[in-house]
Homo-oligomer: A and B are copies of this chain.
Amino acid sequence: MSRAYNFSAGPAAMPESVLRRAQSELLEWGTARASVMEISHRGKDFIALAQKSERDLRTLLNIPQNYKVLFLQGGATQHFAQIPMNFARREQSADYVITGHWGEKAAKEAKPLTQVRIAANGADGNFTAIPARASWQLDAKAAYVHYTPNETIHGVEFQDIPDVVGVPLVADMSSDILSRPVDVSKFGIIYAGAQKNIGASGLVVMIVREDLLERCPKDIPKIFNYAEHAANESMLNTPNTFGWYLASLVFEWLIAEGGLAAIGARNRAKADLLYGYIDNSGFYKNPVEKSARSWMNVPFVLPREDLDAIFLKGAEAAGLMALKGHRAVGGMRASLYNAMPLEGVRALVDFMRDFARTNG
């Protein structure tokens, strides 16, 4: 056997060179005479790693000085709840813009903690488009506006940062962080589960504007308080040290690859190749409006559902893994995160072409 092209939506493929490096030093990391997962997070070796990883992330995303970077746990889902707990109050409302499954879930988890207002919702159009900005019903007094720049299940992605004048913009960037350059200064909070473009599951990266941390209430347990995490350099308690280490390797890899401009160009090329083929195939279909198509997750359907199983079996035999679509949408889904090389997308398109010829 050998490694396949892995189109998993997440936990997703990681750069092979990162895995090889982690493998080579799994028993002995640096001069520690132990694995990186066997040493104290408060020792100088791990603290150096933590600081370097933050510097690298700041370089990659050009994070302004007035933003804190946190390395947390719990998955994005925990922060669906923890964000309103910290930044809104029960008597205050928060605006949610829903463009797919994850935005819906974020709103649901926030409900016990704040008054959730749905400012816009793409559900009517089956999440195949992004509601026009002019149609959003924003509240100028909202605690924040939450949205999901990329929806993994529906394959819908914002191509620009929405303007929400005067209200902090909160983005669940789990599935498109680090996929192209982004202007961090336009956001109040960016957060992301690591298992798509940052590393392995079990780690969450949060970038938060310092002034917002003043909102964190003092009457909640410290472990839920982001200001406490910030004041303690994300070491309020033992962090996921191995996950943090993997993230640090991915950040180094991204810098070596040329940074986010280069990564973004490659991601655009990958997406263009696959959407271009799908649209011209006369066989496969992607239902998403062109202006809202995701570079990261490309759902597509075959002409007949009974072909799905045959397609998946053939794809697997051709070394193309994890293409089954989410049950909510059906068909197939190819996730093209940073670690997926252009060659992988070429191999997928070649297979799709052959399959369409045989089964068309």
Interface residues of A (CB under 8 A from B): 1-4, 6, 8-14, 16, 19-20, 22-23, 26-28, 31, 33-35, 37-41, 43, 73-78, 80-81, 108-110, 112-113, 193, 195, 200-203, 219-224, 236-243, 246, 319, 321-322
Chain B residues with Cβ under 8 A from A12's Cβ?
38
Q: What is the minimal beta-carbon distance from A109 to any residue of chain B, in angstroms?
A: 4
B38–A201 touching, CB < 8 Å? no
Across the interface, name the chain B residue whose C-beta is closest to A242: B200
A242–B112 touching, CB < 8 Å? no
- Contact A80 to B220, CB < 8 A, known contacts A11-B38, A38-B13: no
Chain B residues with Cβ under 8 A from A6's Cβ?
33-34, 38-39
Q: What is the minimal beta-carbon distance from A252 to any residue of chain B, in angstroms?
A: 18
Looking at chain A's contact residues, is the secondary structure mostly helix, strand, loop, or mixed?
loop
Q: How far is the CA of A124 from the CA of B16 in the complex (A)?
A: 55
10 shortest A-B CB distances, which residue pairs? Answer: A202-B240, A81-B221, A77-B237, A4-B33, A37-B200, A23-B26, A75-B237, A109-B221, A73-B73, A202-B202
B8–A40 touching, CB < 8 Å? yes
- Contact A40 to B9, CB < 8 A, known contacts A3-B33, A73-B75, A240-B243: yes
Chain B residues with Cβ under 8 A from A73's Cβ?
73-75, 78, 202, 240
Chain B residues with Cβ under 8 A from A238's Cβ?
10-11, 75, 77, 193, 195, 201
Q: How far is the CA of A248 from the CA of B242 in the complex (A)?
A: 16
Across the interface, name the chain B residue whose C-beta is closest to A25: B23
Q: What is the minimal beta-carbon distance from A138 to any residue of chain B, in angstroms?
A: 24
Chain B residues with Cβ under 8 A from A35's Cβ?
14, 19
Q: How far is the CA of A77 from the CA of B75 in the complex (A)?
A: 16
- Contact A28 to B14, CB < 8 A, known contacts A242-B202, A243-B240: no
25 contacts between A and B (CB under 8 A): A1-B33, A2-B33, A3-B27, A3-B33, A8-B40, A11-B241, A13-B38, A14-B37, A16-B27, A23-B26, A39-B322, A73-B75, A76-B237, A77-B237, A81-B224, A109-B221, A109-B223, A200-B241, A202-B241, A202-B243, A240-B240, A240-B243, A242-B242, A242-B243, A243-B243
A10–B75 touching, CB < 8 Å? no
Chain B residues with Cβ under 8 A from A195's Cβ?
238, 241
- Contact A28 to B8, CB < 8 A, known contacts A221-B113, A238-B195, A240-B240: no
Across the interface, name the chain B residue whose C-beta is closest to A19: B27
Q: What is the minimal beta-carbon distance from A64 to any residue of chain B, in angstroms?
A: 29
A220–B11 touching, CB < 8 Å? no
